[in-house]
Structure formats: C-alpha cells, structure tokens
Amino acid sequence: MTPFADAHPADLTISEARAALRAGALTAVDLLEALLRRIEQRNGGDPSFDGAPDAVNAWARLYPERAFESAQAADKRIAEGDWAPLLGIPLAVKDIIGVAGLPLTASSRQLEGSLADSSSAAWTALERAGAVLVGHTHTHEFAAGGTTDQVGNPWNTAHSAGGSSGGSGAAVAAGMVPGALGTDTAGSVRVPASLSGVSAFKGSYGRVSLDGVIPLAATLDHVGPIARTIADCAVMFGALTNARGATDPWGISTPRDMDEPDAVPARLDGITIAVTDRTDSVDVDADVRQGLARATDALHSLGARILTLPAPYELDHSHYDTVLIAEARAYHTRFATTPERYRDSTRHFIAPGSTPLSADAYIAAQSARIHATELWSAWFREHNVSAVLEPTTAAPAPLRGTGYDVTEKIGGDDPLTCFTALWNFVGFPAAALPSGLSQAGLPTSVSLIGPPQADASVLSIAAALQTVLKPLVLDRPA
C-alpha cells in the first residue's frame, strides 16, 4: 500500500503528490479538481479585495480554466514518461510576481486593471519545472507590511495570517495548494509560515532572480517558497534557482543551479547549532519559548552539538529602515498623484511626499550592511557554526486588522520581524518551520539560519529537524 493511498488528494504534500502522479494513483486533473473544491470550501467565498472577518480570503484571483489546461498537458507529459520536478503540481503565486498576460495588482487599487507584460523569472522557472498555476494570492499592499489584513488565519480567522505573503501562507495552511511562491523583505515568507503553521525558505540574497517582481526594496527583497514541509520548500527552491535568462543586477555571481535535494539526513552528528542571546532583548511569548526548547532538544537528539553564544551584531533598525523606506519610495514616486488609492495601512509608509531621506543616510546604511555581513560571516567561521536556531516570530498570530504601524521600527520590538529582518539585511539563508501550537491553538515556529550561500545545508538541517518536529495539520473537514 502506498503512503498516499488513504490521503485526501488536497492534503498531499508536494513530494507525496509527485509520487502519486508518477505511480498513476492520481492524475494532475484529479489533484487540481480536489484543490479547487477545497478552495470553495475553505476560502470563505470568492476572492475579495477587502476580505471579511470570518473568511480566509487567501486569493486575489483564481485561474481555473488556465489551470485545467496546464493539468491536462501535465497528464499527457506524465503518460509520455516526463518526470519534471513539479510536473502537475498546483501552486499559487503572490500578487507581486508577474505571469505574462495575467493581472498583476499588488493587492492595490493603484494597479487595478494592470497586466503583466512578461513572466517573472521565478514563475518561468516553476512553469518550466511543470507547475500548474492556480491563482494569485493576496499580499499586504505592495508587500509593505507584515499583516495582510484582508486575509484571515486558517487556524482562527480572527487572527492575522501574517505578511506580506499572507495569502500564500494561508492558502498552503488551509490545504488549498501544497505550495506557493512569496517574497521576503523583512520576513515576508517566514512570518506567514510562522503564524499559519507551515514551512518557508528565504535563500541567500541573489539566489533567486527578482526579474518580473514588483519591488518593495530591491536590495532587501528575496523570492522564496512556502509549503507544508521543508522538503517541499527544497523541491520548489531547487526549481527556482534554475531560472534562465535572468537580467536583474542583484543576482549572485556563483552558479544559481541547485540540484534537487538529497534524502533528509537521519542524523546531524558533527553539525554545530548556535542559540544566541538575541532572545534576551525581546519579549518572547512563553509558548514560543517552549517551541524553541522543543527544537533545541530535537536537534540534540539528532546528534547536533548545541552552543550558546553571544550574537556578534544586532540589527540597527534605523539603518534597516533607511534602506527599506528609501528604496520603497523610489518605486512609488509613480503614484505621487493618486495617494488616495493606497490602503490606509500603507499610505503613510510608502507614499511619496513623506519625510525625505538623505543620500548620506542611505550610503551610511548600506555601509553598515557590509559591516554586519562581515561580522556575522566571520562569527559563523570562527565558531564552526552550521546554523543559528531562534524563534521565527516572538509571538503567535496577533488579532487581525491592526495593520502596519509606521512608528514601529522593523525588527526592534516588533514581535513579527524582530528576529527575521536581520537576515534580509545581511542576506543569509533562513528556513522557518512549525514548532508546535500555543495554548490558544495557534502555531509557533522556529528558524534555522546559515552563513551566506549555505542554502542546501540549511534546508538539509531544517528537514532533519522536521522529522522530529512534525508538520502541523489543520484539522478541518475535507
């Protein structure tokens, strides 16, 4: 009996669905039909711009006709013996990632009616790997916030699904798709994964092309996968790093290609994991601390060596904010005459005409990034650390509708980004995975962060950890 024989098709992971498709136990059309029924059952109605208090509303738009055409083509390719890594797998894409000829609105009225002229390098890579596009998911407007207030958390729709890739995280958590594409500027794939109880990966800066992605802050932005498991994130990330013809100036000079990940290691003997004092300066929820302790114990049980070390550098929030706001406002000058078309939660944050930033401040902030990157890189080498373990967010999902507070520093005491933003600032790879449930029944999460370009190693360690800290499953009717 195959391990997927008794599972509902919509509950299969990417790896399980691939096995079922290759074994002939399931067709791509059957899988898509099951997921579209799941969307009808769990989204809370048709896609809505503003959402509703009792709705998940993960989707900005759905493309069922296109998806069925792709699924039918995938079934034909499978019958001919084609085993492309994502062939026939339905996926979602965040609404700032372009797909040629389809709407691209950043969940904003500023871009209402806009169509993408060409496909992003990221989607092109996934499509080349055989993925089936189900739809675009909601983002916090222009990815400029961490709450995506029009989206409800599938575990409790009164709570936030996180952001800015909140729709992607919610769609995966609710079992509407097995994987989704998001972007991450201060934690925007890892925060939704944390709050919605799924997995995510932000690779080294430049690993995945930003071509065809609406920017928030181009030198902080990363494209990355959200999925039910780290192993599934690795499959998606392997496809993403094979983007061809990318022209963005931020790509790393080392080869992007990353082979499909090897089997998850059974042991972590010889691996050193560091726990730093970064949790000492933040008010970390007790349930989150318990999740961190479970992860520490799990890594130790797998044979890893656990070290407690002081962090060599903590994020200077003024430098991070200077880079973020300067780059965001540079893009948004094109909307200077229509500020009323922004959502309230983003208008004052990125609208042109706000307090200007000096060139000197921006240059100083970028110099600080170089210094921070050098300090952390040397620290990893000096202590022979393979990965840092820390909470993903300092608390479970907050109540929905609070929006982005422009007076709140990114990182700092913000419970959503206090741990994540640093790793965008220095561009290191980071994986997020569930660590349990809070007493209120909301997910908690931990992250593993590695030195620059150690993407495969971080994914491998995180996948091993997830063999002990099992993925969460939302217990709802099929």
Residues with a known catalytic role: 94, 164, 188
Angstrom distance (rounded) from CA 141 to CA 149: 9
Phi, psi of 306 (to 5 degrees): -105, 125
Nearest to 16 by CA among 258, 260, 231: 231
Please say whether the beta carbons of 227 and 178 come within 8 A.
yes
Beta strands of 155-290 (E only): which ranges?
156-160, 179-184, 199-202, 222-227, 272-276
- Residue length of the chain: 478
Phi, psi of 91 (to 5 degrees): -135, 160
Nearest to 228 by CA among 306, 165, 282, 176: 176
Tokens of 308: 């407690």
DSSP 8-state class, residue 376: H
What are the C-alpha distances in Å from 459 to residues 16, 152, 288, 359, 390? 18, 28, 22, 38, 15
Please say whether the beta carbons of 132 and 90 come within 8 A.
yes
Tokens of 229: 């498991």
Phi, psi of 169 (to 5 degrees): -60, -45
Q: What is the largest CA-CA distance in the chain?
A: 65
Sign for the CA dihedral angle at 235, 107, 41, 191 comes to positive
Angstrom distance (rounded) from CA 275 to CA 190: 19
